[in-house]
Structure 1
Amino acid sequence: MQFSASNRKRWLSEMEEETLDVLVVGGGITGAGIALDAATRGLTVGLVEKQDFGGGTSSRSTKLIHGGLRYLKQMEFNLVREVGRERALLYERAPHIVIPAPMMLPIYQGGTYGKWASSVGLLVYDRLAGVKKEERRRMMSREETLKREPLLTDRGLKGSGLYVEYRTDDARLTLEVMKTAASHGAKAVNYTEVISFLYDNGRVIGAEVRDQAGGGTYRIRAREVVNAAGPWVDELRKKDQSLEGKHLHLTKGVHLVVPHERFPLRQPIYFDVPDGRMVFAIPRGRTTYVGTTDTDYIGSIDKPVMTEEDRDYLLKGVNHVFPTVDLKPKDVESGWAGLRPLIHEEGKSPSELSRKDEIFQSSSGLITIAGGKLTGFRKMAERVVDLVAKRLADAGVRESGICRTDQVALIGGGNLGSDGFSRFREEWTDRMEQAGVERSRAEALIHLYGLQIEGVWERAEERPDRLTAAQVDFAMEEEMAIRAVDFLVRRTGSLFFDRPRSEADAPQVLEQMAESLDWDDERKRMEQAMLEQEQKQTHPPLAEKTG
């Protein structure tokens, strides 16, 4: 089944005409994981998302698939064990976007972790998370630490621990999971909002949804309905009139992006800030990003924003540990803000709240999944689909198999595993470099597309000049004109256009794209409707310029 925007209208019509086994509401990593698990068990699956896939929390994380070292402080050993093992599994299933990266944990007098505690903590972490022998922690002296990262302050420095985390592209990972679910028969449609739930004798049997891109409403019926809407799950529980008992506690996490030349870290660092929290600083490409904050949030769920207070908090933290860097507000190129949908616990601060997931079942039968982490999405999905499968079996509707997602390779990763992908990457890097693509550029594209690089290279007619827009880090851009073009690039899958570097030349690029793409009438209409919807929400003046 082709995962394409051109199938949206057909999929919505087909979902309206049949009764699904399960309808998933929410197109972030959790919803995508549930759709994949259910589809691979042979269930008929539909998924709707009111904005873009991964448009909420799943594109606004620290972009790490990590084993949860920070959770040792909260004594959540089972959580560390689970996410550590899930991390190792995901590395083998999607090695193109789950990439090992040595992380330094500097140890300072009076810091969160003393030298002994750090050593023991990292050792426990290695054991619980099932870390490979060659990736296990290494403790370094003060001198070794400063040699490896000279930007660190030497005041009170005792040494450091070196351990391995895994970096990722969170939005791309969500798309890879969604594409894999579609390849197994799931119908996933974005820009489709739930207006209300459908009921029969008080039991939820589906939802009425609005197509925000193509127009019209659809009544989708399903035997089971799963609410996996992340920060919006309580909004849907209100629609179901079942918001009682436990509820969400939203906290905001902000990241700053600065040019790498202003903060030239040699490797990722996990360090203490003055108030006792710990944050990450991660070099990536031409930038270094820093985060995250962790503060209570009350405001628009759709558009959380970074405040000056958020910015200054992170700048202060960086300058405390890296004083020679001396970052100023003017150094901040951009940033992003995301919301953590945590489970409220009375009397606990945002940083103390558990990151564990929890499943709620309402009297109407609505299943809600809340909490959790990016790394643990597969296991969260397994628990939800186990419940769905049991309810379907108890109702005498359908028997389904056990979870198979621990064996299902994600599109882009294939069945190569990490070792096989390393060989594939070398082969394709050499091939593209010989054709004139810079080696670093080739590696970046291969890590973005994985095994799909073959199709990308074929579409580009093996010409380096036709790859100029292939990799865009949407989360780190602020210019609304560029976001509008990025939006259209994502929709079409186009790789053949120079991205605009300013608002002024965005209309010309849009015009070039519109003239060059071979769309049928339906696709043209749909893409324009999507673009207009994005522009209404973000940048009305650009909509007037581009028409």
Structure 2
Amino acid sequence: MTPYSYHDRPILLRQLATEEFDLVIIGGGITGAGIALDAVTRGLKTALVEKKDFAYGTSSRSTKLIHGGLRYLKQLEFGLVKEVGSERAVVHALAPHLVVPEKMLLPLSEKKGLGYWLTSIGLKVYDLLAGVKAEDQRKMLTKAQTLRHEPLLKKDDIKGGAIYAEYRTDDARLTTEIIKTAVSHGAVILNYTRVLEFQYAAEKVAGVMVDDELTGERYTIKAKTVVSAAGPWVDELRDINKSKSGKRLHLTKGVHIVVPHSRFPVKQAIYFDVEDGRMIFAIPRGRITYIGTTDTNYNGDKDEVFTSPEDAHYLIQGVNATFPSVGLSVADIESSWAGLRPLIHEDGKSASELSRKDEIFESPTGLISIAGGKLTGYRKMAERVVNLVIKNHFQQKTLKPSQTQKLWLSEKHFANTRQVKDFARELQRRLAPLALPDHTAAYLVENYGYQAEAIVRRAEIGASGEPSADLALLKAEWWHCVHGEMVCTLQDFFIRRTGLSYFNRQRVLQWQDAMAAEGKTYFKWDDARVAQELTDLNTFLDSLTRFRTAPF
């Protein structure tokens, strides 16, 4: 594990404040992370700053699928389907533990959707455009076969179905691994570093003034070029640069809710129509099933995006209409997340109709901004941005072509899915004496890959000294994330490195005090800081289910 710790911050800060970079990237989501990795591995001296934590915004709040864009066929965006379809295969090959094959069931109804034959043709086109391997190409199902795949479906409505290929991921973990890989190649990357204003030379952007959110220190980073990959905040930075003209962002909100798998025990991932013509996912993940997403216009606070009562009821009603025997209620929701899509505004189009294509803006001062796009297409988006940076500033510099198509996203990597499964079985065998839940090994491998072995080894050693093997494991994860993944707060750990706030909220509540004590040990937090960390974490946890007490 390459050291990448809170304790490295003074060294990284000194580098940012004293050296000049070829490129500074603003934004530590999937797009910024991808740009940093592409740029540094081509030979550009690269820095990245993020105002909060990595993947704080959209990149920890997606549907968590590296998907091929089936819905874009309806919008006739064939080029987008082809690009994201081929890209998901690339990303799966680079990190098969993080990008996991997931067969998706598409039930076909008498009253909704495109119909059996149009769906069959559409999925065939999808397979061709996305370059799906023969063994994973769509398989059409009869009504009986569809109901065997998912007995919970409303039987009277079903006339058939289809199975097609998707890939599941954890968006925040993917972002983290890309950042760690960029760091291992020499990029200087720091979270909790807010850009306050741009620096100029001869009326061209020549750097940024930033504020360290943890220490209050303010300093300037010098750079030959600056790229803004700030997602929903792109237009704010264009305002600071006095270059927001022409096209602008159109923010839409997507919400996901989390219920116990025992309350909604779908046998596999499923993508189904709802009454308003949209489609939503239900995806089993260990002990839970998560459901999403909504697509509504958003004009509120970009730092405070939450699930509303209307959002929750919309998704619950969609499930109950298609799976009437389940009988979900809002009270079943354990957690939720709400994220913003930074789309490009198009007059006269609804939130669901807006294109998911990315777009690059260039200002007269040389600031390059990128917005739009999809999680799946992060690598190609990064490649296009770096190509433009090189064209504008570094044509005379000897640089490598883009390396990221074959660049593994871990120091020790899996060659294929079979190796991932074999490793997970071995970890499960080792974990058996600790009597942890059955899904623990899969969770660890999908989160950390081969790095899970060191975490398990540490948990085995520590288990005898803890009141619970579960706490020993959590402390082992904390150790890994603090030393190798730039965790600075309890929220960094519980939300974006482990996903526990979304997928196992009760475990967070059970062990938050113990982990705050770990912060005292690792970070020398005083009692006031510990109290503030716990207050901030619980305020966030409360926000995930606030809709349950709101009137509707």
- The alignment's TM-score, normalised by the length of structure 2, stands at 0.88
Question: Where does residue 477 of structure 1 map in the other structure?
Answer: none
Q: Does 1:467 align with 2:485?
A: no
Please list the CA deviations of residues 337-370 of structure 1 after superposition, one character each: whole Å capped at 9, or x if unmatched. 1000001111111111110111110000000010
Shift of 1:381: 0.4
Residue 293 of structure 2 aligns with an amino acid whose one-letter code is T
Task: Tell me whether 98-107 or 431-440 shows the greater mean CA deviation.
Answer: 431-440
Question: Where does residue 518 of structure 2 map in the other structure?
Answer: 513
Change (3 A) 1:131 1:463: farther
Report if aligned partners of 2:489, 2:533 keep a CA contact under 8 Å in 1.
no
Question: Where does residue 445 of structure 1 map in the other structure?
Answer: 444
Instruction: Find the aligned partners of 1:142 and 1:491 in 2 and give their Cα distance.
Output: 40
Instruction: Find the aligned partners of 2:410 and 2:531 in 1 and give their Cα distance.
Output: 27
Question: Where does residue 274 of structure 2 map in the other structure?
Answer: 273
Q: Does 1:524 align with 2:524?
A: yes
Shift of 1:488: 5.6
Report if aligned partners of 1:488, 1:527 keep a CA contact under 8 Å in 2.
no
Please list the CA deviations of residues 158-207 of structure 1 after superposition, one character each: whole Å capped at 9, or x if unmatched. 10000121111111111011000100001111111000000112100110
Task: Tell me whether 5-14 or 344-353 shows the greater mean CA deviation.
Answer: 5-14
1:204-243 aligned at under 5 Å gives the runs 204-243=205-244
Question: Where does residue 409 of structure 1 map in the other structure?
Answer: 408
Shift of 1:457: 2.8
Segments of structure 2 that go 5 or more residues without pairing to the other structure are 464-468, 479-487, 543-552
Report if aligned partners of 1:204, 1:225 keep a CA contact under 8 Å in 2.
yes
Q: Does 1:19 align with 2:25?
A: no
1:342-491 aligned at under 5 Å gives the runs 342-394=343-395, 396=396, 398-411=397-410, 414=413, 416-433=415-432, 440-462=439-461, 465=469, 466-468=472-474, 485-487=490-492
Shift of 1:490: 7.9
Instruction: Find the aligned partners of 2:259 and 2:37 in 1 and give their Cα distance.
Output: 36
SS in 2 for 1:288: strand
Shift of 1:492: 11
Please list the CA deviations of residues 196-246 of structure 1 after superposition, one character each: whole Å capped at 9, or x if unmatched. 000112100110000001221010010010000000000000000000001
Shift of 1:275: 0.4
Task: Tell me whether 438-447 or 305-314 shows the greater mean CA deviation.
Answer: 438-447
Segments of structure 1 that go 5 or more residues without pairing to the other structure are 473-482, 543-547
Instruction: Find the aligned partners of 1:78 and 1:531 in 2 and give their Cα distance.
Output: 51
SS in 1 for 2:53: coil
Report if aligned partners of 2:305, 2:339 keep a CA contact under 8 Å in 1.
yes
SS in 1 for 2:255: strand
Instruction: Find the aligned partners of 1:79 and 1:389 in 2 and give their Cα distance.
Output: 24
Shift of 1:298: 0.5
Question: Where does residue 64 of structure 2 map in the other structure?
Answer: 63
Instruction: Find the aligned partners of 2:352 and 2:61 in 1 and give their Cα distance.
Output: 17
Residue 416 of structure 1 aligns with an amino acid whose one-letter code is A
Residue 518 of structure 2 aligns with an amino acid whose one-letter code is M
Change (3 A) 1:278 1:408: same
Report if aligned partners of 2:228, 2:370 keep a CA contact under 8 Å in 1.
yes
Please list the CA deviations of residues 456-513 of structure 1 after superposition, one character each: whole Å capped at 9, or x if unmatched. 23333556622146679xxxxxxxxxx97454668999x9xxx995998767425642
Shift of 1:437: 5.7
Change (3 A) 1:508 1:269: closer
Please list the CA deviations of residues 98-142 of structure 1 after superposition, one character each: whole Å capped at 9, or x if unmatched. 111111001112322210011111111111111121111111100
Change (3 A) 1:526 1:448: farther
Question: Where does residue 478 of structure 1 map in the other structure?
Answer: none
Instruction: Find the aligned partners of 1:347 and 1:148 in 2 and give their Cα distance.
Output: 40
Task: Tell me whether 526-535 or 114-123 shows the greater mean CA deviation.
Answer: 526-535
Report if aligned partners of 1:413, 1:421 keep a CA contact under 8 Å in 2.
no
SS in 1 for 2:402: coil
Instruction: Find the aligned partners of 1:338 and 1:540 in 2 and give their Cα distance.
Output: 14
Change (3 A) 1:75 1:254: same
Please list the CA deviations of residues 429-462 of structure 1 after superposition, one character each: whole Å capped at 9, or x if unmatched. 4444477666532232122110112322333355
Identity of aligned residues (%): 50
Report if aligned partners of 1:93, 1:409 keep a CA contact under 8 Å in 2.
yes
Report if aligned partners of 2:53, 2:492 keep a CA contact under 8 Å in 1.
no
1:267-306 aligned at under 5 Å gives the runs 267-306=268-307
Shift of 1:319: 1.1
SS in 2 for 1:262: coil
Residue 70 of structure 2 aligns with an amino acid whose one-letter code is L
Report if aligned partners of 2:138, 2:163 keep a CA contact under 8 Å in 1.
yes
Q: Does 1:49 align with 2:50?
A: yes
Report if aligned partners of 2:173, 2:496 keep a CA contact under 8 Å in 1.
no
Instruction: Find the aligned partners of 2:51 and 2:26 in 1 and give their Cα distance.
Output: 9
Residue 439 of structure 2 aligns with an amino acid whose one-letter code is S
Shift of 1:75: 0.7
Residue 356 of structure 1 aligns with an amino acid whose one-letter code is K
Change (3 A) 1:471 1:320: farther
Change (3 A) 1:26 1:69: same
Q: Does 1:315 align with 2:316?
A: yes
Instruction: Find the aligned partners of 1:507 and 1:454 in 2 and give their Cα distance.
Output: 24
Residue 320 of structure 1 aligns with an amino acid whose one-letter code is A
Question: Where does residue 119 of structure 2 map in the other structure?
Answer: 118
Instruction: Find the aligned partners of 2:131 and 2:541 in 1 and give their Cα distance.
Output: 52
Report if aligned partners of 2:420, 2:445 keep a CA contact under 8 Å in 1.
no
SS in 2 for 1:251: strand
Aligned pair count?
A: 521
Please list the CA deviations of residues 243-291 of structure 1 after superposition, one character each: whole Å capped at 9, or x if unmatched. 0001100000011111112111111110011000011011112211111
Report if aligned partners of 1:93, 1:417 keep a CA contact under 8 Å in 2.
no
Report if aligned partners of 1:491, 1:527 keep a CA contact under 8 Å in 2.
no
Instruction: Find the aligned partners of 2:408 and 2:136 in 1 and give their Cα distance.
Output: 23
